[in-house]
Structure 1
């Protein structure tokens, strides 16, 4: 059995590749073009955690975990000829598609970045789906990490994928409407529609994994060696809210909450997100239909995130305060998000890591890399602090 992991140099793709390889005799082919490293450098930031190049990572996987079933291919998924060769040569039984330009703020910088994000993300997914059809690989299980951001923030519980629509006395199950709020999130809405079409036309088994905001620095496999670490972004464009708040704390600044901060967002730890994808790559490989998973373990309010980070930060010797500032955005600061996740929780079983445990992991990591955080503090400080 061969599993192809795209975006395998990334925050989620790399530890997922390691775990799939560690679970058995599966051959794992890693694919990436290192674009994420370039995007982060472009906006003047870096990974807080030094990350090895592909050759060194594979060597470390062999040395530390005795994994000889990993191989790496460098290439651009927007190049259809490359994708066609890739699929024809390796004939994967499963594709784990984590490759994308993943930043909503980056996609909002200007029209060029918006166009790039949509061109890059949509073309890569289409090339893979059509490549499977044209290579006669329509039994291959296609798994993509989309995002819970496709749902927006409706005032009703979010179903795991579809919704029941009733009109003039009749009802049917329909895809959840695209309510995304950024040019990036819309790429995942379009991908979801394209995957549905590919399933209808080509009968490819599809798992649409709508991944929540991921937090954390380690998985069981990456803890074993510094050479196996995954990246950790903390800047405004590529760092998630939890990671940015932790960076503020380590750099000696208050954790900033805009407005009340009582709005809840969906979250999942890196450990749990990896496990969900690995289960789909291995144990759930007999799927035949199109299944949507809400890859989320719980919704957490922004103020709870800040308070937890302050509390854990003090355990590590940081004098962390939480400060509230006027919210420059028009949003419901008390929105109580509810999101169904029965399919996903049945996939992973018990949650492996609580939010507090994940925050401890982050501080364990960042205390080793304070200099990098402080050197790049202008990349994550909000204007209300940067101007002080």
Structure 2
């Protein structure tokens, strides 16, 4: 028996593989086709911190952490034949599915990227759950990182999974409606629906982990050696807003807050995200069908910018926070509330605060300032480029 971690070369998948392998003697198989490296290169950017080749990463994992149970298989999960072989050879008791094209802006570039994103993401998930069913592995615990983006930004507290619908005096629990705002986010809405269907039809135990905006550069395991670092993207397409703001600070540009900036977004640190995924498979938890809001707390855009400015001062950075006209149609004072009791029970307590996460990021980016400056056209908002 084994544990498979898809997207094992990625930002979340790689450190998750390290964490799981360090907590179990079971075989842990990372799976990836290295597409993320190609996507980022195609839009003219790169990881701020160099990403080691997979063989170097595995060697470091063995030498530094003694992880002889961690291995790698290269392959494309949209290929049914590859998925069938992967499942029959390794017979996983659990799959942590983090593989996806994860960028909303990339999926919005043009019709080709939208089609690619939807085919890549949904086909991979369908191949995996149908493969488990067709190979009589319906007891395998399937854990997928979907996204809190499926919820949109409603004016009521977001439940951890389902909601209650009332009509003409009748009430019932229903899946939360898909309110996604991009072709990427809609893939995760479809995945969430397909996972629910796979549980109902095939009996596969499902953990739908709806991941918030994830920040940070390090986890407990990756800090030990540079070869173990995960990738860190800071560009407009693959770098989340907190990472782009940190890049602006390093390059000497003000942090541009759209409008009032009081709209809150859900956040989770890389350390807290990895811990939750590891707990789900290592502790043996495999609920029937459970949704987790992988969030530690919502943070407003202006609070985020001001925190980065304060932490930046520790690194000798003079960071200004400026407010510019908001080009987006959104509520600039949205006080998002999102339930996360189930997820917090899983991890016990928050392991990294937003402030300490920004400190890690600025430390990493300071060491690679030349890379940031050389690619500043990839992360600066239009208002600063004019």
Give the distance between the partners of 2:93 and 2:316, measured in 1 at CA. Answer: 48
- In structure 2, the partner of 1:362 is 361
List gaps (5 residues or longer) in structure 1.
none
**How many aligned residue pairs are there?**
386
Give the distance between the partners of 2:285 and 2:54, measured in 1 at CA. Answer: 31
Deviation at 1:287, TM superposition (A): 2.0
Give the distance between the partners of 1:349 and 1:288, measured in 2 at CA. Answer: 18
- In structure 1, the partner of 2:294 is 295
Deviation at 1:24, TM superposition (A): 2.2
List gaps (5 residues or longer) in structure 2.
none
- In structure 1, the partner of 2:137 is 137
- What secondary structure sits across from 2:92 in the alignment? coil
- What secondary structure sits across from 2:25 in the alignment? coil
Give the distance between the partners of 2:325 and 2:170, measured in 1 at CA. Answer: 46
Give the distance between the partners of 2:341 and 2:41, measured in 1 at CA. Answer: 39
Contact 1:259/1:324 (8 A) holds in 2: yes
Q: TM-score, normalised by structure 1?
A: 0.99
Contact 1:204/1:288 (8 A) holds in 2: no
Please give the per-residue CA displacement for 1:154-211, whole angstroms capped at 9, x wherever unaligned. 0000000000111122111100000000000000000000000000000000000000
Please give the per-residue CA displacement for 1:324-357, whole angstroms capped at 9, x wherever unaligned. 1111111100001000001000000010000001
- Is 1:87 equivalent to 2:81 in the alignment? no
- In structure 1, the partner of 2:317 is 318
Give the distance between the partners of 2:256 and 2:91, measured in 1 at CA. Answer: 48
- In structure 2, the partner of 1:219 is 219
- In structure 2, the partner of 1:120 is 120
- In structure 2, the partner of 1:185 is 185
- What secondary structure sits across from 1:22 in the alignment? helix
- What secondary structure sits across from 1:93 in the alignment? strand
- Is 1:110 equivalent to 2:93 in the alignment? no
Contact 1:20/1:26 (8 A) holds in 2: no
Deviation at 1:124, TM superposition (A): 0.3
CA RMSD of aligned residues (A): 0.6
Please give the per-residue CA displacement for 1:225-261, whole angstroms capped at 9, x wherever unaligned. 0000000000000000000000000001111111110
Deviation at 1:286, TM superposition (A): 4.0
- In structure 2, the partner of 1:262 is 262
- Is 1:210 equivalent to 2:232 in the alignment? no
- Is 1:71 equivalent to 2:71 in the alignment? yes
- What secondary structure sits across from 1:30 in the alignment? strand
Give the distance between the partners of 2:297 and 2:60, measured in 1 at CA. Answer: 34
Please give the per-residue CA displacement for 1:89-108, whole angstroms capped at 9, x wherever unaligned. 00000000000000000000
Give the distance between the partners of 1:189 and 1:354, measured in 2 at CA. Answer: 28
- In structure 1, the partner of 2:37 is 37
Q: TM-score, normalised by structure 2?
A: 0.99
